[in-house]
Structure 1
Amino acid sequence: MISVSLCMIVRDEEEVLGRCLESVKSTADEMIIVDTGSQDRTKEVAAQYTDKIYDFEWKEDFSAARNFSLSKGTKDYLMWLDADDILPEESAAAMLELKQKLPCDTDVVMMPYAVAFDASGKSTFTYDRERLVKNNGAFLFRGRVHEVIPPAGNIYYSDVLIEHRKIGSGDGDRNLRIYQDMEKKGEYFDSRSLYYYGRELLSHREYEKGAQVLRSFLDRPDGWVENQIDATRQMAYCFYGTGEEGRALGALLEGLAYDVPRGETCCDLGRHFMDRGQYEQAAYWYRQALSAKKAERSGAFITEDCYGYLPAISLCVCYDRLGEYGLAEEYNELAETFSPGSDYCRVNREYFRRRRSDGQKRDPNIH
């Protein structure tokens, strides 16, 4: 059985750190906590679980802090978590099983990371992350922000799910501030950094520059294909923000050149045409989304609703607008299978019932 060192960096995390460490205490053989300048009770909480608590001066560089934490681990494998992550009970059991069966020649273990949830608690946005790495000095984080350990060697894909259960908003400007500091200092942006810089600019509504940075990323020859596909979507959002709808559509269509269409791109194309009253074109793309390739083991960002509920409920609307009420009802019921108890499906069902009973024309408020 392998042994695992949990290596974490924390700062002002008294609200969530105990929750995280409690969830993982049965699976970690060692806990390393590196504090980067807490002003609250974070260290006191950590001390309830481990005496291996270290200080590290914050340098606006996540990789530097994380690599320091990795350097303190002494077990076979090093595992990282954020303070607002948790290992659900079923994942803890699966983690113990993984420790028993993991092949000894494994270098990196990938695990699904759920970062968004619906009202019922079901994950709506997941992607794989490198979560355990062999403790041989070969694996280090790269990047001042949106840091990553590049997977290499023998990679094992595990179903142990980590959940990101954030409390509070945090410092929403931090990542952009770091990238802007890099730019000001003339530091080199690798392709991954350009991609995430563009996303940060978009989230801060700096649409014109965001589009320029994402274009620079897409012009690089070494971009990762999943990032390239997503970058075309993010660039489209930038163009919508600047009012350049034609360029937005062009960016979405550009994404089709990298691989078979993803559900996220198909839904964006469907929305583009539906918003403009072009319901046949919209329906075409939403149908494609229902059968689209979900790149589950690629590490891509996956919006689960784009492969089920969203295209189904959107097809309901499209076919209602086209006067094909039977199809509209069928897709409404299909949407219900993806999201049982959906209020939208319930309201739509009542609308169809009324329309059948009294000949009511299409309701413009159908969802």
Structure 2
Amino acid sequence: MTTISLAVIVKNEQRHIAACLESVKPIVDEMVVVDTGSTDRTKEIAASMGAIVSDFPWSDDFAAARNAAIERTKGDWILVLDADERLIADYGAVLRDFISGGQRIGRITIKSRFVQNGEEQIVQSAISRIFPRHVRFQGAIHEQLISELPRIDSGIVAFHEGYYETDKSERNLRILEKELQRRPDDAYLLFHIGKQYRGSGELSKAEQYFERAYGLLSRVASQSGHSHGSSVATYASDAVIDYLYVLLETKNFEQALNVIGNEQAQLQELADFHFVCGLIYMELAICFPQDSGELLPLIEHSYLQALAAGEAGRGREIVQGTGSYLAAYNLGVYYELLGNREAARSYYQMAVSAQYEPALKRLEVLK
């Protein structure tokens, strides 16, 4: 019978490790936990739940630690999770069905909470985490599986607490900057450094790194004749969306409009693109009310396009709700400001059907 091993690397994760292992234990044949220097009860808790626990000296290299964990497993297939992630359901049948499909790599959807403008939201990413045991990681940080095997969505979803509760930006930036010295024209590294600076509120620095990453990605896409959604750089659409949010936050509207113009054709399928365009046009209308006559149709069109992308099931959502309740809510706000209470109520009701509480409050006001 084909066997499956969980491989986890940890350091001071006593708050999360039990939930992680408990969510996986019924569906794997063994759980291997490699500790990189905990000073709390992480190892004790993991061992008490039946995990095989061992040590590995930390060397600022995530791939090295992950590969060490894989080496210590016995399974035919590997499932990788972080200690602060947990599966949201029993995926035993789903996992077995996936590995029965032959040699391939499985992506799982990671949902992470974050706070924006005082409101908690969910960001989603598809990450390769299920693979045959011969596959290995590469990269000191934001490590990637090195393999030509096809990458397929597995249908498995995990919830990630870490970004919401902890700040690991100092450690991450140290490793990223070190890697960037070796590979100064690596758009992937520049993108992640930009994300770290954005997360810590250093928007000017974030913008500089995103600008460099975007320039490199645009050059690669132009030279190869591929769109950003191609295998040339599968993360590129995420980089464009994050760059637009930073340009919105720094109010660099001129560059934001340039990027929108450049990317409109490539990112038509992505609800997040239309959603952030709507936010940019709304902010422009607030800052430059004399231009609102031109901007209002663009605001409406952007959110309608976001809803259309979501309803058609095209592409994916990076931020949960951009193709559904968040776009519907913003359309409600748009129509309410224009005095069209009937249309506003209709879109607020659409958002309420997804249990989006701010929409319910607006509906009560419009009664």
Pair 1:260-2:268 in alignment: yes
Whole-angstrom CA distance in 2 between matches of 1:200 and 1:267: 22
- Match in the other structure for 1:55: 55
Whole-angstrom CA distance in 1 between matches of 2:319 and 2:92: 25
- Match in the other structure for 1:251: 259
- 1:118-143 deviation line (CA, Å, top 9, x unaligned): 9xxx99332322221112x2x11122
Whole-angstrom CA distance in 1 between matches of 2:302 and 2:275: 7
Whole-angstrom CA distance in 2 between matches of 1:178 and 1:301: 29
Whole-angstrom CA distance in 1 between matches of 2:327 and 2:51: 51
Pair 1:334-2:356 in alignment: no
Q: CA deviation at 1:209?
A: 2.1
SS of residue in 2 equivalent to 1:33: strand
- Match in the other structure for 1:214: 213
Q: What is the letter of the counterpart of residue 32 of structure 2?
A: I
Whole-angstrom CA distance in 2 between matches of 1:215 and 1:168: 29
Equivalenced residues, count: 341
Q: CA deviation at 1:171?
A: 2.3
Q: Is the 8 A contact 2:9 2:36 kept in 1?
A: yes
Pair 1:168-2:171 in alignment: no
Pair 1:290-2:290 in alignment: no
Task: Give 5+ residue unaligned stretches, structure 2.
Answer: 222-226, 287-291
Cα distance change of structure 1 residues 22 and 189 upon mapping to structure 2, 3 Å threshold: farther
Whole-angstrom CA distance in 1 between matches of 2:265 and 2:208: 24
- Match in the other structure for 1:72: 72
Q: Please, which of 231, 246, 257 is the counterpart of residue 238 of structure 1?
A: 246
Q: What is the letter of the counterpart of residue 193 of structure 1?
A: L
Cα distance change of structure 1 residues 116 and 95 upon mapping to structure 2, 3 Å threshold: farther
TM-score (norm 1): 0.82
- 1:182-229 deviation line (CA, Å, top 9, x unaligned): 23x434554432322232233332244223332343234169525322
Q: Please, which of 97, 100, 108 is the counterpart of residue 103 of structure 1?
A: 100
Q: What is the letter of the counterpart of residue 266 of structure 2?
A: Y
Whole-angstrom CA distance in 2 between matches of 1:219 and 1:101: 35
Whole-angstrom CA distance in 2 between matches of 1:64 and 1:173: 20
- 1:35-70 deviation line (CA, Å, top 9, x unaligned): 111111222112213463222111111111101111
- Match in the other structure for 2:289: none
- Match in the other structure for 2:280: 272
SS of residue in 2 equivalent to 1:60: coil
- Match in the other structure for 1:359: none
- Match in the other structure for 1:142: 138
Whole-angstrom CA distance in 2 between matches of 1:251 and 1:97: 40
Q: Please, which of 178, 194, 198 is the counterpart of residue 194 of structure 2?
A: 198
Pair 1:347-2:327 in alignment: no
Whole-angstrom CA distance in 2 between matches of 1:203 and 1:227: 18
Cα distance change of structure 1 residues 212 and 158 upon mapping to structure 2, 3 Å threshold: closer
Q: What is the letter of the counterpart of residue 42 of structure 1?
A: T
- Match in the other structure for 2:328: 312
Q: CA deviation at 1:237?
A: 3.1
- Of residues 2-11 and 102-111 in structure 1, the stretch that sits farther from structure 2 once superposed is 102-111
Q: CA deviation at 1:81?
A: 0.8
Pair 1:34-2:38 in alignment: no
Q: CA deviation at 1:159?
A: 1.8
Cα distance change of structure 1 residues 236 and 125 upon mapping to structure 2, 3 Å threshold: closer
- 1:295-354 deviation line (CA, Å, top 9, x unaligned): 9897x6622210111111111121222232222222222222222xx443333223322x
- 1:217-252 deviation line (CA, Å, top 9, x unaligned): 323416952532222222233334444221122223
Q: What is the letter of the counterpart of residue 292 of structure 1?
A: A
SS of residue in 2 equivalent to 1:221: helix
Cα distance change of structure 1 residues 68 and 295 upon mapping to structure 2, 3 Å threshold: farther
Q: Please, which of 182, 193, 200 is the counterpart of residue 179 of structure 2?
A: 182
Q: CA deviation at 1:111?
A: 2.2
Q: Is the 8 A contact 1:36 1:57 kept in 2?
A: yes
Q: Is the 8 A contact 2:191 2:209 kept in 1?
A: no
Q: What is the letter of the counterpart of residue 209 of structure 1?
A: Q
- 1:267-296 deviation line (CA, Å, top 9, x unaligned): 111112222143332111111110016898
Q: Is the 8 A contact 1:210 1:238 kept in 2?
A: no
- Match in the other structure for 1:360: none
TM-score (norm 2): 0.82
- Match in the other structure for 2:123: 125
